[in-house]
Each structure stands twice: as C-alpha cells, then as structure tokens.
Structure 1
Amino acid sequence: MASLASGIAVSVILCAAAARAQIPLPSDDDAKPDPATLFANQCGTCHIAQKSDEVRQGPNLFGVYGRRAGTYPGFKYSAGFAKADWVWDEAHLDRWLTNPQAMIPGAVMLYHQDDPTVRHTIIGYLKEQH
C-alpha cells in the first residue's frame, strides 16, 4: 500500500512539473495552431475532452462548458471546489487558465497560461466539446 501511495505521489509530482512548463507555440506568426492539437499539447497530459468515462490526473473536460464546477461524476476534487458555486463559462475558464491557485486556493492544477490567445483558443475548443 505504501509503494502505491509513493508511486501516485511521484506521478503527481512529474505531472505537476510538466504542467508548470508552458509549451511554446510555433514561431511562425502566420501559423495558427489547430485547437485540438493545442488542447492536446497544453492540457492533454492531465485531461481528455472526449465522450468517455476516462479521467486522468484531472477530470474529463468533455462537456465542461456550462457544467457546474467540481461536479464531474466520480472525480475527487480538491476541497476548494466544494465552494465553487458557478458554472464553467468563458469568464470562469479564462480566469482559471490564467491562475488556478488564485481562483481556488489549494487547487491541484498547476498549469497556467499567460497568453490570452492560447487561453481563448483552448476555451473555444472546450465550448465545442458537447
């Protein structure tokens, strides 16, 4: 049991380290990344956005737009989500992707995205996943 717990802890640490590193976009100013590819590169380590019961380190984001925060069935959220009395919309997703820790102190998600264009592309992709 202890080795399982330590294995999970190592996995979380490795994912956290990967999430902290924002993946740069192509340097060609004319190249707009495909939203699905951008989501896969920026969020896919911890999330999927496909109709499925699969969860990774984070909840499945299929249908997240318009869903009440912290309510994906079977996913264990951090304690701060118990106080989240709102649904995921553009404003909440943008704020979350900008700085999850400021929005919900103690949240496990360490990824953040400083580039508003990348955030809006990810949000647009999530809006389409229903």
Structure 2
Amino acid sequence: MTKLTFGALIAVTASAISSFALAQDVAAGKSSFNKCLACHAVGENAKNKVGPELNGLNGRKAGAAAGYSYSDANKNSGLTWDEATFKDYIKDPKAKIPGTKMAFAGIKKESEINDLWAFLAQFGADGKIKQ
C-alpha cells in the first residue's frame, strides 16, 4: 500500500512540475514575442500589420492569413506551419524561404525558440487560448 501511495505522489508531483514548466515556457515565449510585436500580432484582437497575424499558426499553410499581402516566395513555399517547420524557419527566415519579405535576422537560441513556439501554439485561429 505504501508503494502505491508513494507512486501516486510521484505521478501527481511530476504532473504539477510539468504544468509549471510549460507555464514558464509560455511566459518566456510571451516575453520573446516582444521582438515580433512591431510586425506581428496574436490574440483575440490581432490584425495584420507589416507581417500577418499569427493566430492558429500550427497547421496553417504559409501565405494563407486572410487579408495579408504575402510575397510570392512565401505563398509558393509549400510550407505548412508546425513546430518543426517554425523552429527551423525562425532561426533564419530568409534562408528557409528565399525571397520572403520578412526582414528579421532570426533567433538562434534553442530555448528561446522553444518558448516562442509554446507561446504561439496556444492560440487558435480565433485568437483564443486553447484549453
């Protein structure tokens, strides 16, 4: 009985720690998103700026945000945004999509890239945070 109780305690603790770590990643990603704010928006009232709004990014085809005028390079890239594609792209956007209008040198630090993805991936296409 003691082993079962101890095992349950470990499972609950691990779950709580995982949830806390995720919250930290999202908070750090929100802070990192400040680098993106001049050109991009996310959230319920997000609108296209110099760059497209980023709601519902996970699973969205590149060049598909309504009302945004993309470069031909972006529209014809054939990319669909997911975690791996975003993480590769954000390191060096112009290398991933030559001819893109995105004038951003990129983010090189893996932990920052991971945090930024955690922040962006939480938003659905409607701009609401997914539950």
TM normalised by structure 2 equals 0.69
Q: Secondary structure at the match of 2:111?
A: helix
Query: Map of 1:97-116 to 2, 5 A cutoff?
Result: 97-111=90-104, 112-116=106-110
For residues 122 and 29 of structure 2, the distance between their equivalents in structure 1, rounded to whole angstroms, comes to: 10
For residues 109 and 117 of structure 1, the distance between their equivalents in structure 2, rounded to whole angstroms, comes to: 22
Q: How far apart are residue 67 of structure 1 and its match? A: 0.6
Q: How far apart are residue 45 of structure 1 and its match? A: 1.0
Q: How far apart are residue 63 of structure 1 and its match? A: 0.9
For residues 53 and 75 of structure 1, the distance between their equivalents in structure 2, rounded to whole angstroms, comes to: 13
Corresponding residue of 2:49: 56
Q: Where in structure 1 do 4 or more consecutive aligned residues deviate above 6 Å?
A: none
Q: Which runs of 5+ in 2 are unaligned?
A: 1-23, 125-131
Corresponding residue of 2:121: 127
Query: Map of 1:1-130 to 2, 5 A cutoff?
Result: 34-39=28-33, 41-52=34-45, 54-111=47-104, 112-130=106-124
TM normalised by structure 1 equals 0.69
- Which digits, 9 at most, give the CA deviation of each residue in 1:57-108, with x for residues without a partner? 0000011111111100110001101322231001110111001111111111
For residues 94 and 35 of structure 1, the distance between their equivalents in structure 2, rounded to whole angstroms, comes to: 13
For residues 121 and 68 of structure 1, the distance between their equivalents in structure 2, rounded to whole angstroms, comes to: 22
Q: Number of paired residues?
A: 99
Q: Which runs of 5+ in 1 are unaligned?
A: 1-30
CA RMSD after TM alignment:
1.8
